[in-house]
Amino acid sequence: MASSSRAVKGRMLVNEPMAKYTSWRIGGPAERMYIPRDKADLVAFIQALPADEPVFWFGLGSNLLVGDGGIKGTVVNTRNRLKVMRLVDENRVYAEAGAPCALVARFCCDAGLVGAEFLAGIPGTLGGALKMNAGAFGGETWRIVEQVETINGRGEVRLRPKQDFQTAYRSVRGFPDEWFLASWLRLEPGDGAEGQRRIKALLERRNATQPTNKPSCGSVFKNPPGDFAGRLIEACGLKGLTIGGAQVSDKHANFIVNLGGASAADVEMLIETIQDRVFNTFGVELQTEVCRVGEP
């Protein structure tokens, strides 16, 4: 852990239940959780950690399945932190990793820039979107990225151009020992008011087709090439399938919802059941999109 003599500006919590912070409302305790005051405080905190301290970062806790045994080491919680956004020039926006994607989308439109509206459909932070090249409604995060700011376990901060990373559908390959602090997004000047109307239409479409009124992680599986995971799952008759407190949504089959009291083990069993049924029926191996962390 960081030295107790350091002037900590943020908050350190011990044995903090992750279920309080994940959109699934599932997850055992974090051994330690640090909530930084701002980016500078977070950098100082990381620099003070022992080199062998396990560290896990999260923002809004979407797209995240935390094991029932919790997370060992230190969890960095950027929820409502690292959310500075500013217009850099006529077509670039700087946004820190803790900024919710939906707010980034609206900020860009308010600045008269278009191309980031799809971010409104991603229920997480920009940092999470950068990590997995999150997308929605035909858009993908790294298509609009120019450069990023990262930090490694030694607290060394770097600026890296987009070209330093290999990106594909829901995939980013780069530097596994680094975390994202911020990003510069390159967009096009346009009609911000029309962009806001597109955001509204996208959100209405999402609410009409996805179970936004129940705890979930968003899409559980990646879409296989040329098809949709939800279509395959529904075609197997799995809508409504329930294990413990977890259920395949009857509104969108690529969502697993927490009916109340679901455990990570319930969700894992449901994921495995879906994968087995889809493979046995269609010969397709569904790959998970959700990030699984922590102890069983």
User: Please, which residues have CB within 8 angstroms of residue 263's CB and are 6 or more apart in sequence?
Assistant: 26, 68, 244, 245, 246
Q: What's the pLDDT at 137?
A: 87
Which of the residues are catalytic? 170, 219, 289
Residue 241 in domain? yes
List the CATH number of the domain containing 189.
3.30.465.10
Residue 111 sits in the same domain as residue 199? yes
Buried b (16+ CB within 10 A) or exposed e, 200-211: eebeeebeeebb
Q: What's the pLDDT at 237?
A: 98
Residue 111 sits in the same domain as residue 195? yes
Residue 246's nearest CA partner among 203, 290, 206 is 290
Number of domains, the chain: 2
Domain boundary among 209, 241, 257: 209
Residue 201 sits in the same domain as residue 169? yes
Tokens (6 digits) for 216: 């979930």
Q: What's the order of all strands across the beta sheet hosting 11-17?
A: 11-17, 29-35, 71-77, 55-58
User: One digit per residue, pLDDT tens: the chain, 296 residues?
Assistant: 444 435 668 999 999 999 999 999 999 999 999 999 999 999 999 999 998 999 999 999 999 999 999 999 999 999 999 999 999 999 999 999 999 999 999 999 999 999 999 999 999 999 999 999 999 889 999 999 999 999 999 999 999 999 999 999 999 999 999 999 999 999 999 999 999 999 999 899 889 999 999 999 999 999 999 999 999 999 999 999 999 999 999 999 999 999 999 999 999 999 999 999 999 999 999 999 999 999 99
CA distances (Å), origin 98, targets 58, 110, 120, 214? 9, 19, 15, 23
Q: What's the pLDDT at 198?
A: 92
Residue 6 in domain? no
For the whole model, what pTM was predicted?
0.91
Rg (CA), the chain: 19
Q: What's the pLDDT at 51?
A: 86
Q: What's the longest Cα–Cα distance across the chain?
A: 59
Hunting for tokens 């279920």 — which residue is that?
19
Residue 140 sits in the same domain as residue 254? no
Domain that holds residue 240: 229-293
* Contact criterion met (CB below 8 Å) for 211 and 252: yes
Domain boundary among 178, 209, 240: 209
Domain boundary among 209, 241, 258: 209
Residue 160 in domain? yes
* Contact criterion met (CB below 8 Å) for 236 and 277: yes
Residue 118 sits in the same domain as residue 202? yes
List the CATH number of the domain containing 286.
3.90.78.10
Residue 95 sits in the same domain as residue 202? yes
Residue 203 sits in the same domain as residue 234? no
